[in-house]
Copies of this chain bind each other. A is one copy, B any other.
């Protein structure tokens, strides 16, 4: 991770694994992460924090228990703390995440998709 200019397109070229957010910038005690996703994640909740999704490429569906939210490029959505959600992408999606440092991608669910965040 650099403290210089972060070029999102260049950063996305540096990894290919899915559902594994990469740290690209820090803002106080918050982290900006990039993630590539395809398929369905796991239903989970972050009890202590909101979570921001900004889609850079593709179409991301954030399934909520009371309906789906669909995001295309240049669209963002904040999942409120405590709200169960499950991201799903039928195609390949590039997205930017913003949340406090230390948030685990699978929230309260855990499991095989839990990622260790690497800085790139």
Contacts and interface: CB of A to CB of B under 8 A. Distances in A.
Interface of A: 3-9, 25-28, 30, 32, 49-52, 56, 69-71, 74-78, 80-81, 98-100
A86 B105 CA distance: 36
Report how many copies the assembly holds.
2
Given A76-B32, A98-B98, A27 B50 contact: yes
A99 B50 CA distance: 15
A74 B32 contact: no
A25 B76 contact: yes
A36 to B, nearest CB: 16
A76 B26 contact: no
A6 B100 contact: no
